[in-house]
Amino acid sequence: MEVILKEDVAKLGARGEVVDVAEGYGRNYLLPKKLAVRATKANKAVIEQMKASSVRKLAKEKGDAELLAKQFDGVSLHFTRKAGENDALFGSVTSADIAHELEGRGFNIDRRKIELDQPLKSLGEFTVTIKLHKEVSVHIKVTVTKQEEPTA
């Protein structure tokens, strides 16, 4: 049975692909769960239009991301935090903190696009990657310094 996948299916194929599957697998699993449609001429034509639309949309999104990436040239962030001995922070600098600081500078970036393996918990200078698009990412410099204690 030939079907057109409507969603990515593990070990079978990606969205939009025409695949050949066992009759029972297609009829009892893929079709009822709306993961695929039968591969008829009409459905193939609709899928081709959807693919063309998707390609145009992805190209536009990538172009927008590249323009935004150019605006990040020379952008660096500075955070001042309380720190104890061995320059360990009492708190941390998280992706949400970075997103908030970028928002203050006119960049509306979702915190989930900021690739931070762990929150920054020490003083120093760090390079943080922001993934603007599947193929476009930028690196910004983040500096964390110690907050001066007020002398009494």
Instruction: Decide if pLDDT at 12 tops 70.
Output: yes
Q: Would you say 31 and 3 are in contact if contact means Cβ atoms under 8 Å apart? A: yes
Domains and CATH numbers, the chain: 2-69 (3.40.5.10), 72-146 (3.10.430.100)
pLDDT in tens, 111-141: 989 999 888 988 999 999 999 888 889 999 9
Question: Rounded mean pLDDT of 48-75?
Answer: 87
Give the pTM.
0.65
pLDDT in tens, 73-118: 888 999 998 888 787 888 889 999 999 999 999 889 899 899 998 8
* Inter-CA distances, 39 with 19, 27, 34, 46, Å: 9, 13, 13, 11
Instruction: Decide if pLDDT at 10 tops 90.
Output: no
d(CA 137, CA 113): 9
